[in-house]
Amino acid sequence: MISVIVPAHNAQATITACVSALACQENTPSDYEIIVIDDGSTDNTGQLAAAAGARVIRQQKRGPAAARNAGIHAACGDITCFTDADCAPRPDWICQITAPLLTDPAIAGVKGAYTSSQKEIAARFVQIEYEDKYDRLRQYPRITFMDFYSAAYRRAILLEHNGFDERFSLANSEDRELSYRLAALGYQMIFRPQAIVGHHHANSVSGYFRKKVLNGFWTAQAVRHFPERTVEDTYTPQVEKVQIGLMGLLTVSAGLSFFLPFLAVLPLLLALVFLLTTLPFVRKAWPKDKVVAAASPFFLALRGFALGLGYVWGLARPVN
């Protein structure tokens, strides 16, 4: 038996497409159930999910970590698959995400991938940004980071280790903390790029900025418990960390140059160095989307500044 768990809060715009896609899976290796955890929705999320064929469990709003945990405890399957309410899995998703677990008992968890058909330039950049990270994941036979928008895990392992940490309550990095924790315990996780879900990425500059600030904040909480992941997590390109540092230095030096004019050349030099660090990404993006490639230095600078801002915020306000 396979259980698919979908946390959902006020997701009436997307939940029908999500559950309908799950209900029409092809070549599944066994029977499966769809469990939607309605996390305190004030709209018709629960009713729509039930109408589309899901088993719905309602709870007061406690965040996606608690919702996923509720799904794990309610599940009947030995394998628990996870996606999000704004995702539409491809017809072979269950087959693809579970295949490694069914063929190799040493594998504990499997991470899949996003795709998107959105037209906004911000969303197109986000998709190429993910693809850049997927290229990195392909290099590793074992990974230390899993996003649970497309994932599968052995249920017994999740139960044994108390599932998701519910302190990570704001839809950011609860999956990062869990995967860091299970990787530290020696569990093998792999990347399965064929397990694809369609997704609605952030489609505006402001939405992208807000998401990255929150990512930075919750990443700081996760690495507080697993400091070794500041060096390597198989997912984050090393150049991204360099860019975060450069944007921090650029911001500080630009502020100082107002009071110390002789430092005015420093922000320019830092900006040039930053621009050079973006060239590999631009080169990779160019054959896929020339407009996104041209805009990439701006988005990468915004990403570096937002992640750095969120990370500093997270260091200053630890979540206990």
Q: Indicate left, alpha or beta for 61 from its phi (over 0: left) and psi (-120 to 50: alpha).
A: beta
Contact 180, 145 (CB under 8 A): yes
Give residue 231's pLDDT: 83
For residue 124, name the pLDDT band (cuts at 50, 70, 90): very high
Give residue 170's pLDDT: 61
**Domains located in the chain, CATH noted:** 2-203 (3.90.550.10), 204-320 (no CATH)
Residues whose CB is less than 8 angstroms from the CB of residue 115 and which lie 6 or more positions away in sequence, other chains included: 127, 196, 197, 198, 199
Give residue 163's pLDDT: 95
Count CA atoms closer than 13 A to 90's CA, side-chain side. 17
| pLDDT tens digits, 81-119 | 999 999 999 999 999 999 999 999 999 999 999 999 999
Give residue 224's pLDDT: 86
β partners of residue 38: 8, 58
Least-confidence region, from 37-46, 66-75, 142-151, 261-270: 261-270
Contact 68, 37 (CB under 8 A): yes
Give residue 230's pLDDT: 85
Mean of the per-residue pLDDT values of the chain: 94
Print burial letters for 301-320: b (CB count within 10 Å at least 16), e (below 16): bbbbbbbbbbbeebeeeeee
For the cut 70, the answer to whether the pLDDT of residue 30 exceeds it is yes
For residue 191, give both structure tokens. 């990347």
DSSP assignment string, 192-259? EEEEEEEE----SHHHHHHHHHHHHHHHHHHHHH-GGGGT--SSS-HHHHHHHHHHHHHHHHHHHHHH
Mean pLDDT of the 191-214 span? 96
Mean pLDDT of the 282-296 span? 98
Most confident region among 221-225, 236-240, 287-291 by mean pLDDT: 287-291
Give residue 109's pLDDT: 98
Angstrom CA distances, 40 to 19, 88, 171, 172, stand at 18, 22, 14, 18
**At 76, which amino acid appears?**
C
Bigger pLDDT: 170 vs 211: 211
| Residues, the chain | 320
| pLDDT tens digits, 153-195 | 999 999 999 999 998 766 567 898 999 999 999 999 999 999 9
For residue 2, name the pLDDT band (cuts at 50, 70, 90): very high
**Structural Rg of the chain based on CA atoms:** 20
Give residue 172's pLDDT: 61
Question: In this structure, what DSSP letter does residue 78 have?
Answer: S
Closest by CA position to 185, among listed 220, 154, 206 = 154
For the cut 80, the answer to whether the pLDDT of residue 239 exceeds it is yes
* CA–CA distance, 223 with 144 (Å, rounded to integer): 12
For residue 65, name the pLDDT band (cuts at 50, 70, 90): very high
Question: In this structure, what DSSP letter does residue 167 have?
Answer: T
For residue 206, name the pLDDT band (cuts at 50, 70, 90): very high
